[in-house]
Structure 1
Amino acid sequence: MTTARPALRRVRLLFSFLCMMMGLSMFLATPGTFAQTYQKAVWVPVDNTIERGLESFLKRAFLDAEKQQADLVILHINTPGGEVDAADQIGQLIRQSPMHTVAYIDNQAFSAGTYIALNANEIVMTPGSSIGAATPIDLAGNAADIKFISGWSKKMSAAAGLNNRNPDVARAMVEIDTEFPGLKPKGTVLSLDAKQAKALGYADRVVSGKEELLASLGIAGDSLQMIEPTGGEIVARWVTSPYVMSLLLVIGLVGIVVELFAPGFGVAGTISLVSFGLYFFGHYVAGFANWLHIGLFVVGILLMILEIFLPGGIVGAIGFISIVTGLVMAAYDTQQGLASLGIAAAVTAFVTFLLIKRYGVRGLFGKFVLGDVQRNEEGYVAPKDQRDLAGKTGIALTPLRPAGVVKVEGKRVDAVSAGGFIDPGTAIVVVQVEGTRVVVAEQE
């Protein structure tokens, strides 16, 4: 018995040691510790409205991060929301990325921004920040139809399930007419502050700021690589907004109509060209437009101009179709392109009506129709009488062989010589005037 007790004591000590090691390993595997170390981290801003231009920038940012052999991407999210389709594509981009992705929210990630955050591997928030309120709305600011909300609710739930988050919470952020006991009453949508999000599993940790975030990830601040949008990408984000798209097309088309009422090529035509230029530039930088779309638009404009000189309407119709095709194909979405163009066409038609009412139809076609009319009752208008030049002297401005130009009393006059060749600079005298024919001779 005495020999068995020390052996039993050793077994207990060994068992206790193994339990301690298992507990330590589980502690090290807990999120927020340095269980995983990262060799290269990049910081990417996801701010302002979610739209197709942001999608284009993030595609480039993730590609640059992979080229830099980064293994961690920190998405700094601060957005009120935006386009659902753009958020859907961004979410797919995050899910397919081989890099570990952290959504860092230090202000707000509402609506489409919530969906983007849910697709990341981790969500980190700061005190005072918020997430949720993801009910989709239409252009008029009203909640979308039930079918669309149902589909978006499914996407939100699926995104939440990627990291074992409660899908009921995601649905509560979308569905207005559904009651979720303990989360929200019927008729409202759910949004969470940092503390609530942490309690419900919608924030993996809460940090005081950027420094604590980097420290929790084991990243030195000076080694963090920033990926910022270029100037062209900033313009593209602005231009590809549905509201700005429609506005640019309105300005472009209205500018053309106003230019038709104004003599010469002026401010309206210049503004129109700048608007169309911004439209195509933004969509080209964002990767939605190409030279084919721009070429279709330019060819369409040329054909419309050619229609002025080639009656029949066929060339003009082809030009109109070419312009519409170029504008719509350059847009990120055909339906959105048609909608923006339809809005622009309606506004342009209204402006055209007002201008015709104010200036008449001739004001619109004044550039293409000869304004002078020869009326019989007005009789024949004779050329200017030049008989007063007879006997006056001047100087030859050009050689007269025999026709040329002379200067008489400070005025340029077309003339012919009475005899032979007259050199330029030779003093002359007007010897005869017959209608429009002025005859000169060398002055003796």
Structure 2
Amino acid sequence: MQTVQATLVAAIAAAALAFSPLSAAATGENSRAALIISVDGAIGPATAGYVKDALAKANERRAEVVILRLNTPGGLATSMREIIADVLASSIPVVGYVSPSGAHAASAGTYILYATHIAAMAPGTNLGAATPVQIGSPVPGLPSKPTDKDGKDKKDSAQQTEPTDAMTAKMTNDAVASIRSLAELRGRNADWAEKAVREAASLSASAALQANVIDLIARNPTELLKQIDGRVVEIAGGETRHLATKDATIGALDPGWISQFLSVIADPNVAFILLLVGVYGLIFEFASPGAIAPGVVGTICLLLGLYALNMLPINYAGLALMLLGIALFTIEAFTPTAIVGIGGIIAFVLGAMMLFKVEAPGYRLSWWVIGIAAAMFIGLIVVIFSSLRRARKGPARVGAQAMRGLSAEVLDWADREGHVFTQGERWQARSAEAFRPGEMVEVASIMDLTLMVRRRPGLTAGEGGAR
């Protein structure tokens, strides 16, 4: 019996040893994951933060590969460089994928795609137009070849244009050096990359594959993982990685609520509106102290707007002009004068036009927002002047002039002096006439704190001092 038990135990142990490698392999295979980071819209500080956090999470989860899905018109150069630095330092292979069909990786998106370990595009997508847009010229910097009316290059070198701006040339050359270094690092077409910067060239997915700008075309992430399966890539530190992605599980790394919130307020138009709401809230709070709500809301919006501006490349001269315009509006609200109000509008509009240093896609201040803001301030000035005009034309409500013509009830009277009751107050009064208590009189004038009254025919004591 003991022999049988020993044999059974040995058989179970042998089976466990035999199946343990398969189980480990199956577990390892199931643990492989391809995590997708989606970049949609303009690239800014919030996007850079999201990509950094997502790559850190992918590293913690030991993902097999990260798919950086791009659909962007471009964005800020500073945020683009942060993303490129994170991709180059990633210990997990990053696959750049322009998707879905109809998407594009323009401007900053082209640089990021060049930085990824594997570059892919979906059919019907495009990339390119990588000229630094803040420079303001489609072919900035170096001399260009002028063409005649037939579109042919002119051979006369003397007629070629010269650089008109040293800063333009410096920024262009820096951008060219950056994208060429990425192309050489990944073994892609460096000449076309330079053309994309200098001439804002663009390519479709099939043309990009033929020009060795990308590595492959895939219709969806599943097909993409099948095509890159077995490829060898070099990650940070010179280490090579053999990709096993054929049966990898696809997951998504969505941005957290903080990244989503920052992406909303980092929009220049939203930041601009937050500033306006904050300023209006403080103006209303100062105009009517004790309302509390306008002050609280205005302070919160003003702080959020300033925080958003801190993340964006702003022109401090433009910000100073805006603040000057707002200050002039505030002065106008308390001491109405046409010159101060008009000056505030001019300063505010000029400051809004100059507020942002760059004209990157997605980071332009809308003319509609500027126009609506200016119209609101003009409306505020109109309301102030209308109120002032009505106040000047209307009857006096305070001081001696406001007392004239009021009805008063005589409380007591002796000789030519006594006391009357009007507007809820007891006043000392004088008159050349004699009155009886309860009789209604009219205020003729006021001298110091004494009312000069006179008889008012047609009024009785029952009218109670009504005007």
The alignment's TM-score, normalised by the length of structure 1, stands at: 0.55
The residue number in structure 2 matching 1:230 is 256
Give the alignment partner of residue 342 of structure 1, picking from 287, 297, 320.
Answer: 320
Which secondary structure state, in structure 2, belongs to the residue aligned with residue 98 of structure 1? Answer: coil
Counterpart of 2:171 in structure 1 is 148
SS of the aligned residue for 1:104 comes to strand
Structure 2's unaligned 5+ residue stretches are 1-29, 141-167, 230-243, 331-340, 342-377, 389-395, 413-467
Residues 1:256 and 2:279 aligned together: no
Q: Which amino acid aligns with 1:50?
A: I
Equivalence for 2:311: 332
Select 2:226's aligned residue among 190, 215, 228: 215
Alpha-carbon distance change, 273 to 378 in structure 1, aligned in 2, over 3 angstroms: closer
- Residue-by-residue CA offset, 1:281-327 (whole Å, 9 max, x unaligned): x76xxxxxxxxxxxxxxxxxxxxxxxxxxxxxxxxxxxxxxxxxxxx
* Residues 38/167 of structure 1: CA separation in 2 closer, same or farther (3 Å cut): farther
Contact 1:51 1:86 in 2 (8 A): yes
**Residue aligning to 2:123:** 127
How far has the Cα of 1:359 moved from its partner? 2.4
Residue 298 of structure 2: aligned partner: 272
Q: Report the Cα distance in structure 1 between the residues aligned to 2:263 and 2:137, rounded to whole angstroms.
A: 21
Structure 2 vs 1, CA of residues 341 and 141 (structure 1 numbering), >3 Å: closer, same or farther? Answer: farther
Residue of structure 1 equivalent to 2:89: 96
Give 1:242 shift.
3.6
Question: Does the CA contact (< 8 Å) of 1:110 and 1:131 recur in 2?
Answer: yes
Query: Does the 8 Å contact 2:33/2:248 carry over to 1?
Result: no
Task: Rate the CA distance shift 1:343–1:379 in 2: closer, same or farther, 3 A.
Answer: closer
Deviation of the 1:251 alpha carbon: 3.2
Match of 1:80 in 2: 73
Please, which of 378, 384, 390 is the counterpart of residue 359 of structure 1? 384
Supply the distance in 1 between the matched residues of 2:268 and 2:402 (Cα, whole angstroms). Answer: 57
Q: Of residues 241, 252, 273 in structure 2, which corresponds to 1:247?
A: 273
Match of residue 66 from structure 1: 59
State the Cα deviation string for residues 248-273 of structure 1 (Å, max 9, x = none).
22332244235544676377546524
Structure 2 distance, partners of 1:350, 1:155, is: 46
Query: What's the offset of the Cα at 1:163?
Result: 0.7
> Which amino acid in 2 is paired with 1:133?
A
* RMSD over equivalenced CA pairs, Å: 4.2
Q: Decide whether the 8 Å contact of 1:249 with 1:341 is kept in 2.
A: no
1:199 is matched with which residue? 210
Q: Tell me the distance in 1 between the aligned counterparts of 2:115 and 2:285.
A: 50
Q: Secondary structure at the match of 1:131?
A: strand
Count of residue correspondences: 288
Please say if residues 70 and 98 of structure 2, whose CA atoms lie closer than 8 Å, have aligned partners that are also in contact. Answer: yes
**Alignment partners' CA distance in 2, 1:91 and 1:270:** 40
Conserved? CA contact 1:110–1:132, under 8 Å: yes
SS at match of 1:109: strand
How many Å apart are 1:131 and its aligned residue?
1.0
Contact 2:50-2:255 at 8 Å conserved across structures: yes
Deviation readout 1:210-257 (Å, 9 max, x if unpaired): 221122235367722311012221120121234433332233224423
**What are the ranges of 5 or more consecutive residues in structure 1 without an aligned counterpart?**
1-36, 177-188, 284-327, 364-370, 389-444
What's the offset of the Cα at 1:275?
2.1
Q: CA–CA distance in 1 between the matches of 2:95 and 2:123?
A: 17
Q: Secondary structure at the match of 1:116?
A: helix
State whether structure 2 residue 74 is matched by structure 1 residue 48. no
- Verify the 8 A CA contact 1:250 1:347 in the aligned structure 2: no
Give deviations 1:51-91, integer Å, cap 9, x for gaps: 01101111111111111122421101111111111101111
- The percentage of counterpart residues that share the same residue type is 25
Q: How far apart are the structure 2 equivalents of 1:386 and 1:209?
A: 95
- Worse-matched range after superposition: 251-260 or 262-271: 262-271
Whole-Å separation in 2 of the counterparts to 1:249 and 1:221: 51
Does the 8 A contact of 1:246 with 1:344 survive in 2? no
- Measured in 1, the distance between the counterparts of 2:269 and 2:175 equals 22
SS of the counterpart of 2:197? coil
Change (3 A) 1:275 1:209: same
